[in-house]
Structure 1
Amino acid sequence: MASLGQIIFYTMVTLIVVFSALIILILALTLSGSLPLVQSLNRLPVANLGQDHVLNCFLPADGEQSFRQVSVTWTKASLTGVVFRYEDGAESNGDQNAQYRGRAELFTDAVVRGNVSLLLRTVRRADQGEYTCSVRYSEGSGEVNIRLRTAAFTAPTFTLSDGGLTAEASRWSPRPNVTWLHPDGGVLPANTELQEISAETFRLVSTLRPINDSDTYTCRIDNRLVTAHADATVTGFEVSARTRFTFDPAAPMMASRYVVASCIFCILVLYLLD
């Protein structure tokens, strides 16, 4: 028969697991961007510094539905003034923050179709933060929050020389790690150099040696926000490459950390009961 301490422990474990599952479910629903009237396909985007970026926000529409009397206001937390405002069929930016003058705009021709996304030109580090897309139209109103994160990332270029394969990437921030992988998935030793070209922004050169002249190697460049998977295929004296980027989902990681913390708590409880 189980002791009182064991009964208490297993009860607490069950409650913690259920509570953890509820937390993960709440986070998943939050990340889905699903709101009754205003939605976003990506509420945790990563923008490439110096590039244009679109903060996605839209009104769900059926077929060729059009929206009437649409007013849109984009704001940013802890910022005086608005990022962008649209009313009565035109922009209305009398109180626009100077940081966004000439850099923020809507796709005005698409507003009547429910596309109220914000285009940010030449993204800066200061642009990161939490934005709110607020919309009023003839059928109701709603808003959605979007947390923009900024990074610098470029696809590497590859060259062959002296029996080695060299990858160069001109701009990465935050500071990246570089890992070379064999076609079978094994990690390969390489020589990597990072040069800080500006505050927290790095140029990297990484050389893998020796290599076979008929293999595909993967150069993985990653930091806490972005991962580049660059597959370089060597054929004789030529190399061809293809790169894909993936981005940190953030909130799922937070959920995982919460579950880990719960497990640690369970272990501590067991230790105390013993």
Structure 2
Amino acid sequence: MSVLGKIIFYSMIALIITFLAIIILFLSFAFSSLSAVLSSNTAPIANLGQDTLLSCYLLTQTVTKVSVTWEKKGLSGVVYKYNNGAASLQDQSSQFKGRTQLFSEALATGNASLLLRNVKQSDEGEYTCSISSTKSGGTVNIHLRTAAFTAPTFTLSNSVLTAHASRWFPKPNVTWLNLDEEVLRGNTTFSASPNKIYSVTSTLPVNITDTYICRIENNLVSSVSTATVTGSAVSEDSYFTFSAASSLLVSVHLSITTTGVLCIYNLT
């Protein structure tokens, strides 16, 4: 074999080996990622005073001898710990006593999501979920943000439409629009509770047969409500959107007809 032929031959061998190494590395990464600890939402926004679920799970079908630790940055003591088939809460922070729960049935499939009850402003911060099992393990960080938000209810009196929302934090802005998205002149007042939760009341002079949009929003949450005035009745449809920092965008829809006491709630 000529010198040139040997150079070409060994160059091809080197290329093949490099290519195989890249494939092996890619497959190794792909299969290892199947057992990584993940979250469906690493930046959730929880409604103050309500329960929220912090997502954390392994991408496996079944797990055995699983242990889970939830911790919060800057906090002394754990948020929740599960080991040897049971909760292990001797070192749990007093901030979370009686307010946290895992689901044993879900743990068998690698789901270690944490239920946090009665969310408080002090719960805001960075959490770490750590899972280990006989098959795999790892950690994921979740940044919980807190807010207060409610959809407004509408009343009509003397051709004035009033929107009232009982709980907002941080303090929101209110904008009225028509269906052409032209800004209308409304009047908004706020009242704050001792813990700075705001009650919002906003009024707008209206025609008795028309549709209006009321948008209540702060830097975390936006509530968009469509109110249709028909005679003395108001029908409404509202939904929430959350700031783009949330990795899982969720909308909550509800429809209310205020001719009587009829409320229909739809969660999507």
In the TM superposition, what whole-angstrom CA distance separates every residue of 1:236-257 from its partner, at most 9, and x where no partner exists?
21111121111112389xxxxx
Among 226, 230, 251, the residue aligned to 2:225: 230
How far apart are residue 45 of structure 1 and its match? 0.6
TM-score normalised per structure 2:
0.77
**Correspondence 1:52 to 2:54:** no
Quick one: distance in 1 between partners of 2:84 and 2:35? 23
| Contact kept in structure 2, 1:44 and 1:249, CA below 8 Å | no
> Post-superposition shift, 1:160?
0.5
Alignment partner of 1:130 is 2:132: no
Letter of the 1:241 counterpart: E
**Which residue does the alignment assign to 2:166?**
170
Match of 1:76 in 2: 72
Would you say 1:201 and 2:200 are equivalent positions? no
Aligned residues of 1:54 and 1:118 also touching (Cα < 8 A): yes
Q: Could you list the runs of 5+ residues in structure 2 that have no partner in the other structure? A: 1-32, 248-268
Aligned-residue identity in percent: 53
Secondary structure of 2:244's counterpart equals coil
Change (3 A) 1:49 1:35: farther
Q: CA deviation at 1:150?
A: 0.6
Q: 2:245 aligns with which of 236, 246, 250?
A: 250
Whose RCO is larger (CA < 8 A, sep 6+)?
A: 1
Closer, same or farther: CA 130–35 of 1 in aligned 2, 3 Å: farther
Q: Per-residue CA shift, 1:133-175, capped at 9, x if unaligned? A: 0000111211100000111111100000010110000010111
Cα gap change, 1:35 to 1:159, in 2 (>3 Å): farther
Tell me, yes or no, if the aligned pair for 2:35 and 2:137 is still in contact at 8 Å.
no
- Residue 41 (structure 2) pairs with residue 42 (structure 1): yes
Q: Which has the larger radius of gyration?
A: 2
C-alpha distance in structure 1 between counterparts of 2:34 and 2:207, whole Å: 53
From the two aligned structures, give the one with the greater helix fraction.
1
Matched pairs, number? 215
Find runs of 4+ consecutive structure 1 residues off by over 3 angstroms. Answer: none
Can you give the 5+ residue segments of structure 1 that lack an aligned partner in the other structure?
A: 1-33, 253-274
Separation (CA, whole Å) in 2 of partners of 1:35 and 1:171: 41
> How much is the aligned-residue C-alpha RMSD, in angstroms?
1.6
Equivalent of 1:221, from 198, 202, 216? Answer: 216
Please name the residue that 1:184 is paired with: 180
Aligned partners of 1:251, 1:171: CA distance in 2, in Å? 21
Structure 1 residues 105 and 184: alpha-carbon distance in aligned structure 2, compared to 1, 3 A threshold: same
- 1:213-263 Cα shifts (integer Å, max 9, x gaps): 2322111001111111111122221111121111112389xxxxxxxxxxx
Give the TM-score taking structure 1 as reference length. Answer: 0.75
